[in-house]
Amino acid sequence: MDLRRAVIFGAVVLLMLTTGVTAESQADMKFSDPYQLFHFMIPSGWIFQAGESSRQLLVFYGPEHDQLIYIEYFPEISFSDPMDFAAQVLGHYSADYGLTSFELVNAPRLIDLAGVKAALVEYDYLGRKERTECRIFTIVNQIGLTITFSESKTHYAYSKDLFDSILASLTWEVSQ
């Protein structure tokens, strides 16, 4: 991406965050994604990481432990089924070149994500620390979308309920 496009994208993300995130209460803020696919509530204390985000990746840090939510967009996806999408990505994660010490905690399963078919999977791997991630795969308007909650393995069970509440607040901005 050239510098001009990067600056324009940064300005759009900043504008989106200042206008798309509105206070619903003192505790939570409404986040609307830049593709206008969905919105959900971000709990108080979570911080959008503009420097680590891009057009295809949005990153939020939580206030406790090593909490992280990241949203990835795959605009030119060739899959129509979220289970196939999940299987492809997990194949890369488990490959020799993939994530160190990758191990499935719970195999992919179909879920209903606010009325849209999605695949949910949980896995462990070794980054700077041992981590557990819960990753949702779905396809909306021919755009592959993953929403991932990541936490240190020792705190994951404690923090997972928070991710479930964020997902419960998700609503789609596009008709399905």
Q: State both tokens at 23.
A: 């206070």
pLDDT at 15 over 80: no
* Alpha-carbon distances, residue 117 vs 34, 106, 132 (angstroms): 21, 18, 23
Look at residue 11 and give its three-state secondary structure: helix
Sort 80 into a burial class: Cβ within 10 Å, 0-12 / 13-18 / 19+: exposed
pLDDT at 20 over 80: no
pLDDT at residue 28, rounded to an integer: 84
At 18, the pLDDT band (50, 70, 90 cuts) reads very low
Nearest to 31 by CA among 169, 175, 174, 143: 169
The kind and range of the H/E element at 161 are: helix 156-168
Distance between CA atoms of 49 and 61, rounded to whole angstroms?
7
What is the reported pTM? 0.82
Q: Which residue has the higher pLDDT, 101 or 14?
A: 101
Distance between CA atoms of 77 and 74, rounded to whole angstroms?
6
Residue with tokens 């840090």: 61
Can you list the domains of the chain with their CATH numbers? 3-172 (3.40.1000.10)
At 9, the pLDDT band (50, 70, 90 cuts) reads very low
pLDDT at residue 175, rounded to an integer: 64
